Amino acid sequence: MKKLAAALALAFLSQPAFAGEAPKWSLAIHGGAGTLDPDKMTPEKRSQYEAALQAALDAGSKILSEGGAAMDAIKAAIIIMEDSPLFNAGKGAVFTWDGTNELDASIMDGRDRSAGAVAGVKTVKNPILLADTVRTQSEHVFLMGAGAEAFAVEKGFAVTPPDYFATPARAEALERLKEEKVSALDVDHKFGTVGAVALDTKGNLAAGTSTGGMTGKRWGRVGDAPLIGAGTYADNRACAVSATGWGEYFIRVGVAHEICSRLRMGRESEQGIADGVMADVKSLGGDGGVILVTPLGGAFFSFNTTGMYRGRATSDGINEVAIFGGEEKASATPDH
């Protein structure tokens, strides 16, 4: 009986709205988490990040507020961040040890749990779109490297020159890593992965994540961002999650799926579950953060670092971006 009651409750909660209420929508985004230092964040740099986050948030929110699909909203938000040199995805991706930019991305639809992912691509401007094409136009979930690029060409993607992704700041970070012979984690200990999660007015959830990985990564290293269940997961019965952080630990915990699984059991609050899973990551030695939305329209963050570039907007009127801990309201309407 308890299992039946839980199943009925989940089915009820998955409906777009209670009878007589307007359907809800919500969106959360992130642009990476890490050991961000408020004293080193100049007003100009802060304004740039807030403006970029707000632009991504606005793009996704417009689609959702007009009745559009969660999948379209997260792609719109992520594309803006992939096109910005501020984030470690697309245009601003970090360099590998060999001086190349290798891009990873994944996307998932909560309606049917269809998913697509790519890893190690070097010639695709917006990896999130290629991941979605894998989801919708192939029988596969995950493609990598040259094979993923060949698939992209076959599906009509333009070949983007590798130098498009290179930026001076990322090149300097790689040189500093090599000169000082330090690990990738010691060079600007920030994880610039970008991601978005959304609930649309039809009650559907979606999640997506895109990254350039870690500065100085070697041997074809792949983190959690393109792995369904680790960096990305969406299930209309529970939640949509996108993660950013030290990927090896997020993979070991299965962060995104773990959060959704615990939510389906319904024994804790959404915030409590997210915080609990991030505490598990920390106990193993990892750090980073997550964003999630739920079938009831809640948009949540949890991170165990000093900061996480983030934003959220809902049909209830919330519209805010933030960088450091506990400042959502302080930067709800950034001056940019």
Active site residues: 193
Helix or strand or coil: residue 321?
A: strand
CA distances from 309 to 40, 65, 143, 205, 298 (A): 15, 23, 28, 22, 19
Structure tokens at 181: 């012979």
- Can you tell me which residue has the tokens 């070949």? 159
* Placement of tokens 């991941």 in the chain: 131
Q: At what angle do helices 127-137 and 70-82 cross, to 10 degrees?
A: 150
Q: How far apart are CA 303 and CA 255, in angstroms?
A: 12
Determine the longest span between alpha carbons in the chain, in angstroms.
64
Query: Helices (DSSP H) in 181-216: which residue ranges?
Result: none
Q: Which two tokens stand for residue 165?
A: 């992704």
- Specify burial of residue 150 (Cβ count, 10 A radius: 0-12, 13-18, 19+): exposed
188 neighbors 10 (Cβ within 8 angstroms): no
- Tracing tokens 């900061």 back to the chain, one arrives at 307
Buried b (16+ CB within 10 A) or exposed e, 224-262: bbbbbbbbbbbbbbbbbbbbbbbbebbbebbbbbbbbbb
**Could you say which DSSP state residue 97 is in?**
T
How deeply is 111 buried, as exposed, middle or buried, from its count of CB atoms within 10 A (0-12, 13-18, 19+)?
middle
